[in-house]
């Protein structure tokens, strides 16, 4: 449900402005509209930059704790991220104390320190990489001293050259011509020295070795790794014990950003002596806010939103519907003139998910996974866990109704317990074909028709809400005409004989609906009494063409519910057959292992693919078919009241 809003217009003198802003922030119920779009200021830019630094620092701490924190002794990391702080000069982890401990930490100081740790880690890793590259170059040559090489060159009067080549490519003539001396064979390569005042004519790779010794670089690598470990320990200590300080700093920065944006959201009038501000508040908060404004003697106007206003949106739903709001937000928030579709598409999405996944066994996996997340996850994960419970229940029910359990077609099993219910499974072997088609195909189209008609009803209600009942007559007429035609022609096709009186009544409803469709689809056209009827008739003809082509295409889209559910069951059955048939010749004490592997791998692949389809295609049906027929516009801006950010 979209909460009702009230529009507020304030006129505040320059002298009273700061006190007014502070009080308005304390009230925490007004969404301030930005009158000067795209405006910025140095203070706002600094706050935005600081927020980015805090977010990057928190991401760095989280990644470090996940990667390196398992061996860091501390209290529970999950507790440490929100509550724990160290007393000054002590470390429960036994690590070296941090430069600033406990309550003396401030957000900005800790932020600077974390950024230093991050930069130090990058620098240390570069040192390790450089040292290990030099070690790799020197390892075949051993731990020699460059001073010895220089003395050798002085005493021999020849320059020393370093070479490497494939072992089978080393040539004896190099020894005679350049005193080539093999030093080592390493990974099928020969490393050798050559002596000559000029560069030898040797077809081998000439090496440029680093200036230090092997022992020196090993020592540097060891010291750098030790420094890196110390860096990781310190980072993980901060992540597990002081992360909340950065979170508080981020929240304070968010409040600063909001304040600076509000300061840019007014217009100066009367040569800058008065500031004009526009805001929005919830209708049920307007009375208390008006009392506070009267006490502060602030000039304001409180009114209902005009149609052209860009009104922020707050949606409020029950605990079940709220679980599906993230799916709605993936598309868009409704705008203030829309009808919140959450409560209407939630049960359909749950049903679509169950039909697309289409296997009772897979439904149990989703159900148990959802229960685990709902019990063990944090608050955000728990909501997804509860959503998983509903989706798992829907899949289990749909899978059992269609007679599929981990790829097993229950209608083909000779199990006594299934004998009474076999004729009722919704598949070809259960209830049998309906009008010559698979029962789930027919049911999918019927479900689609119900959702499309519901969308058309919502479209009419939206027009009624925004423009008046007259503008909804054309849409409601289509709904009545379609329902009447379905009853008039569909029920007899199912073997249900209609009374003569009801038949005439249905024909009458269709006739009345045609009047609404062709003569009252655009009431505004009747402002011109001559052209109005012609425009409405033309609009009715165009709407009829659109309905004839669009409705059929929309309904056919819902067949994917049947197709995807069938595909998952068939794939699961194929892997079941492979597991049993391919291992049938093996002894039982060996057979179970490859059979279990095929079943786990096969059903794992099928489950993963089916899960993707079970999310993507219900969203597609919701976002395209349902939202189109419901005339859902979206593009809403969320109601974010100006308030003090509390840590």
Nearest to 348 by CA among 608, 631, 625, 2: 625
Residues 156 and 10 in one domain: no
152-169 b/e with 16+ CB inside 10 Å = b? eeeeeebeebbbbbeeee
Q: What is the pLDDT of residue 266?
A: 67
Are the C-beta atoms of residues 367 and 393 closer than 8 Å to each other?
yes
Residues 31 and 85 in one domain: yes
Helices 243-263 and 17-27: angle between axes, nearest 10 degrees: 130
Please say which residue of 155, 178, 212 terminates a domain. Answer: 212
Residues 86 and 11 in one domain: yes
**Separation of alpha carbons 322 and 316, rounded Å:** 8
Q: What is the pLDDT of residue 90?
A: 40
Q: Is residue 67 part of a domain?
A: yes
Q: Is residue 22 part of a domain?
A: yes
Q: Is residue 37 part of a domain?
A: yes
Q: Is residue 417 part of a domain?
A: no
Q: What is the pLDDT of residue 251?
A: 85
Name the region of 38 (left: φ>0; alpha: ψ -120 to 50; beta: rest): left
Residues 73 and 17 in one domain: yes
Residues 24 and 85 in one domain: yes
Residues 80 and 14 in one domain: yes
Q: What is the pLDDT of residue 97?
A: 54
Beta bridge partners of 8: 279, 302
Are the C-beta atoms of residues 480 and 514 closer than 8 Å to each other?
no
Are the C-beta atoms of residues 179 and 163 closer than 8 Å to each other?
no
**Separation of alpha carbons 426 and 403, rounded Å:** 7
Q: Is residue 50 part of a domain?
A: yes
What are 520's two structure tokens?
């009252």
Please say which residue of 160, 177, 212 terminates a domain. Answer: 212
Low-confidence ranges of the chain (pLDDT < 50): 72-95, 102-103
Please state, as a whole number, how many other Cβ atoms lie within 10 Å of the Cβ of residue 585.
7
In the DSSP assignment, the letter for residue 333 is: P
Please say which residue of 197, 212, 227 terminates a domain. Answer: 212
Token pair 């929309």: residue: 554
Q: Is residue 540 part of a domain?
A: no
Nearest to 102 by CA among 88, 83, 81: 88
Are the C-beta atoms of residues 228 and 121 closer than 8 Å to each other?
yes
Q: Is residue 263 part of a domain?
A: yes
Residues 89 and 9 in one domain: yes
Token pair 């709605």: residue: 328
Residues 263 and 203 in one domain: no
Element (H, E) at 81: none
Q: What is the pLDDT of residue 252?
A: 84
Q: What is the pLDDT of residue 453?
A: 94
Nearest to 572 by CA among 421, 394, 357: 357
Q: What is the pLDDT of residue 91?
A: 42
Q: What is the pLDDT of residue 600?
A: 94
The dihedral built from the CA positions of residue 120, 122, 128 and 131, taken in this order, carries a sign that is negative
**Separation of alpha carbons 472 and 17, rounded Å:** 46
Number of domains within the chain: 2
Residues 245 and 296 in one domain: yes
Domain of residue 200: give its range: 144-212
Q: Is residue 636 part of a domain?
A: no
Are the C-beta atoms of residues 194 and 161 closer than 8 Å to each other?
yes
Angle at CA of residue 142, ends 139 and 145, nearest 5°: 120
């Amino acid at each position: 449900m979209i909460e009702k809003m009230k529009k507020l217009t304030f006129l505040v003198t320059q002298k009273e402005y700061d006190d007014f802003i502070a009080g308005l922030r304390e009230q925490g119920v007004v969404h301030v509209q930005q009158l000067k779009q795209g405006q910025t200021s140095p203070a706002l830019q600094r706050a935005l930059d600081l927020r980015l630094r805090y977010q990057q620092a928190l991401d760095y701490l989280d990644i470090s704790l996940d990667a390196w924190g398992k061996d860091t002794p501390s209290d529970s990391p999950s507790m440490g991220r929100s509550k724990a702080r160290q007393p000054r000069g002590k470390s429960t982890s036994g690590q070296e104390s941090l430069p600033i401990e406990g309550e003396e930490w401030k957000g900005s100081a800790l932020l600077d320190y974390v950024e230093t740790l991050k930069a130090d880690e990058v620098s240390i890793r570069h040192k390790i990489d450089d040292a290990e590259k030099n070690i790799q170059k020197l390892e075949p040559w051993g731990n020699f001293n460059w001073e010895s090489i220089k003395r050798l060159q002085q005493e021999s009067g020849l320059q020393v050259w370093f070479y490497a080549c494939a072992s089978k490519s080393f040539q004896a003539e190099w020894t005679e011509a350049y005193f080539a001396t093999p030093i080592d064979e390493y990974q099928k390569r020969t490393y050798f020295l050559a002596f000559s005042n000029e560069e030898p004519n040797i077809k081998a790779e000439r090496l440029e070795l680093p200036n230090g010794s092997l022992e020196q670089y090993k020592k540097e690598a060891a010291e750098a790794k030790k420094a890196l470990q110390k860096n990781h320990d310190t980072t993980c200590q901060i992540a597990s014990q002081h992360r909340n300080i950065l979170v508080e700093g981020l929240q304070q920065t968010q409040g600063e950003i909001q304040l600076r944006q509000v300061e840019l959201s007014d217009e100066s009038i009367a040569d800058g002596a008065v500031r004009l501000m526009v805001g929005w508040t919830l209708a049920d908060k307007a009375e208390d806010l008006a009392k506070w404004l009267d006490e502060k003697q602030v000039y304001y106007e409180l009114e209902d939103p005009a149609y052209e206003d860009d009104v922020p949106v707050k949606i409020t739903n029950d605990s079940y519907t709220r679980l599906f709001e993230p799916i709605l937000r993936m598309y868009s928030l409704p705008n203030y003139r829309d009808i919140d579709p959450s409560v209407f598409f939630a049960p359909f999405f749950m049903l679509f998910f169950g039909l697309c996944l289409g296997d009772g066994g897979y439904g149990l996996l989703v159900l148990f996974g959802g229960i685990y997340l709902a019990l063990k996850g944090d608050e955000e994960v728990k909501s997804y866990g509860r959503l998983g419970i509903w989706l798992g229940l829907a899949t289990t029910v749909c899978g059992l109704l269609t007679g599929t359990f981990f790829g097993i077609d229950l209608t083909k099993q000779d199990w006594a317990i299934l004998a009474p219910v076999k004729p009722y499974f919704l598949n070809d072997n259960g209830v049998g074909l309906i009008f010559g088609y698979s029962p789930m195909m027919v049911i999918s189209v019927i479900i689609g028709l119900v959702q499309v008609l519901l969308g058309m009803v919502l479209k009419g209600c939206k027009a009624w809400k925004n423009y008046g009942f007259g503008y909804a007559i054309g849409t409601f007429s289509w709904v009545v005409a379609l329902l009447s035609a379905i009853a008039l022609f569909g029920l007899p096709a199912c073997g249900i004989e209609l009374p003569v009186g009801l038949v005439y009544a249905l024909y009458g409803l269709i006739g009345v609906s045609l009047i609404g469709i062709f003569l009252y689809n655009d009431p505004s056209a009747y402002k011109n009494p001559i052209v109005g009827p012609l425009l409405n008739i033309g609009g009715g003809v165009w709407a009829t063409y659109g309905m004839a082509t669009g409705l059929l295409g929309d309904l056919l889209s819902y067949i994917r519910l049947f197709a995807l559910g069938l595909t998952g069951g068939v794939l699961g059955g194929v892997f079941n057959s492979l597991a049993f048939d391919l291992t049938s010749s093996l002894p039982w004490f060996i057979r179970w292992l490859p059979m279990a592997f095929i079943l786990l791998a096969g059903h794992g692949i099928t489950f993963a693919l089916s899960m993707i389809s079970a999310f993507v295609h219900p969203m597609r049906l919701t976002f395209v078919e349902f939202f189109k027929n419901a005339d859902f516009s979206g593009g809403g801006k969320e109601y974010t009241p100006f308030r003090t950010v509390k840590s």
